[in-house]
């Protein structure tokens, strides 16, 4: 898996693509050997830097959060071009965000995709949405000061509209931040979902990136994502028809 991503990053470099990669640590052997996983991450971060790209670390089930954040911090100490995903549904995330902010981190905030017990994650969607808005506001504040790269990984257009207003109020307009062309904040969405809105946002000056899963195993990957959270099936069906 590491060698595959190294080759992808080499292609990104050669073709000068404005592409970033996002990896799951369990794909890099986190369960088998966290030390080897860290070495792989360091190799990927170095190659991403050489390619003018960026390395994102996905967040998986809650049992991986501690190790994922530890490895993120270890790689971040050596490379600036690495970011991590935080999940708004986890009760621990406000504390995790505060702990990461002194690093001037790149954070992709998502609602969270796994089935977690209620003592670990907020069970009600409206509570998750509210938690997301608070966390995003905090991240935007730092991004407005040039002290974070804020990425909102969501298709929730109502939430995005609120965040854009909040950003305007903070002077964190897209395109004006310390992260160069990407501005103070960006929206990331999944490939094929809300495609028209992705274009509309981009046309309005909000940087939008599209996350694409690819390769020969995309179908099992996709089915696993659906199995993790049956509510996702509805989104997919709605999107198809």
Q: In this chain, which of 155, 162, 173, 202 binds ligand FAD, going by CB under 6 A? A: 155
Residues 2-31 interacting with ligand FAD (rule: CB under 6 A): none
Catalytic member of 2, 40, 58, 164: 58
Whether residue 96 contacts residue 141, with contact meaning beta carbons closer than 8 Å, is answered with: no
Long-range pairs of 121-126 with CB within 8 A, sequence gap ≥ 24: 121/62, 121/87, 121/89, 121/90, 121/91, 122/89, 122/91
Our finding on whether 164 is near ligand FAD (CB under 6 A) is no
Nearer CB in complex with ligand FAD: 13/155: 155
Q: How far is the CB of 231 from ligand FAD (least distance, A)?
A: 7
Our finding on whether 37 is near ligand FAD (CB under 6 A) is no
Beta pairing partners, 110: 87
Residues shown for the chain: 241
Residue 224 tokens, joined: 């696993």
Q: Binding pattern to ligand FAD, positions 174-193, x when CB under 6 A?
A: --------------xxx--x
58 is catalytic: yes
- Planar angle of CA 72, 226, 95, nearest 5 degrees: 35
* DSSP structure class, residue 23: E
| Site of interaction with ligand FAD (CB under 6 A) | 58-59, 85, 87, 110-114, 153-156, 188-190, 193, 211, 232, 235-236, 238-239
Q: Give catalytic residues, as residue numbers.
A: 58, 108
């Amino acid at each position: 898996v590491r060698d595959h991503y190294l080759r992808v990053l080499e292609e990104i470099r050669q073709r000068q693509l404005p592409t970033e990669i996002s990896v799951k640590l369990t794909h890099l052997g986190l369960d088998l050997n966290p030390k080897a996983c860290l070495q792989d991450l360091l190799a990927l971060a170095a190659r991403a830097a050489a390619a003018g790209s960026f390395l994102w670390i996905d967040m998986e089930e809650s049992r991986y959060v501690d190790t994922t954040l530890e490895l993120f911090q270890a790689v971040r100490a050596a490379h600036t071009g690495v970011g991590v995903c935080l999940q708004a549904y986890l009760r621990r995330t406000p504390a995790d965000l505060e702990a990461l902010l002194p690093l001037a981190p790149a954070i992709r905030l998502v609602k969270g995709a796994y089935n977690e017990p209620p003592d670990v994650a907020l069970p009600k969607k409206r509570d998750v949405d509210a938690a997301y808005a608070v966390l995003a506001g905090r991240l935007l504040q730092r991004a407005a000061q040039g002290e974070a790269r804020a990425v909102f990984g969501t298709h929730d257009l109502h939430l995005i509209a609120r965040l854009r207003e909040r950003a305007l109020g903070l002077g964190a307009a897209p395109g004006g931040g310390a992260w160069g062309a990407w501005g103070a904040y960006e929206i990331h969405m999944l490939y094929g979902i809300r495609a028209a809105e992705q274009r509309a946002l981009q046309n309005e000056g909000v940087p939008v990136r599209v996350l694409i899963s690819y390769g020969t195993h995309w179908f099992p990957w996709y089915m696993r994502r659906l199995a993790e959270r049956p509510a996702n099936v509805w989104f997919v069906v709605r999107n198809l028809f």
